[in-house]
Amino acid sequence: MNDRSNEHLKNKVVSVIEKDLLLTEENINDIDEGIETIDNIRNTIDSLIAETKQETISNSMHLLIQRIMGGDTDSVIEMLDNNRDVINLFNFTEKFSELIAEYGKYRMQYKENYPEIKKIKETFAFKDKDLLPLLKEIVNDRK
């Protein structure tokens, strides 16, 4: 995105923030903290997605899940029997569980702690990687 369109988008976000009183003197520090909190959790989620993907590929979990979903029980048992190290199955489930738990924290932050940020995200259909830096810039301009 070029500077001009970025500035135009920023102005649109600011107008919504002002119209809906989403960023006030009273909550500016909370919003700033929320941006950091959500960004940190999102970075953790992104890392866990990559780790879960790696565990999935290295342990052929995608093939196992595909056979489970296809109802091919004999193939599932065969794959489990042929697994040399059962710890690999636990590595996958551990990473996947961590990912789901972190996602729960992420949703809670948006829903319960920072609904103002969620409203901006939904209003403009932003992805976190676009929303959080823009909001950070807006908050810094206001401080």
Domain interval for residue 24: 3-142
> 45: how many CB neighbours lie within 10 A of its CB?
17
**For position 110, what pLDDT does the model report?**
94
Overall pTM surpassing 0.85 (yes/no): no
Structure confidence by residue, pLDDT tens digits, 54-89: 999 988 889 999 999 999 999 999 988 888 777 888
In tens, the pLDDT along 85-123 reads 778 888 899 999 999 999 999 999 999 999 999 999 999
For 143, the 3-state DSSP assignment is coil
What pLDDT, on the 0 to 100 scale, is given for residue 72?
Answer: 93
Whole-angstrom CA distances from 23 to 9, 14, 34, 116, 122 are 17, 9, 12, 8, 16
User: Which among 113, 109, 124, 102 has a CA at the least distance from the CA of 13?
Assistant: 124
| Number of domain units in the chain | 1
Which residue shows structure tokens 């048992």? 77
Task: For 23-57, write each residue's pLDDT tens digit.
Answer: 788 888 999 999 999 999 999 999 999 999 999 99
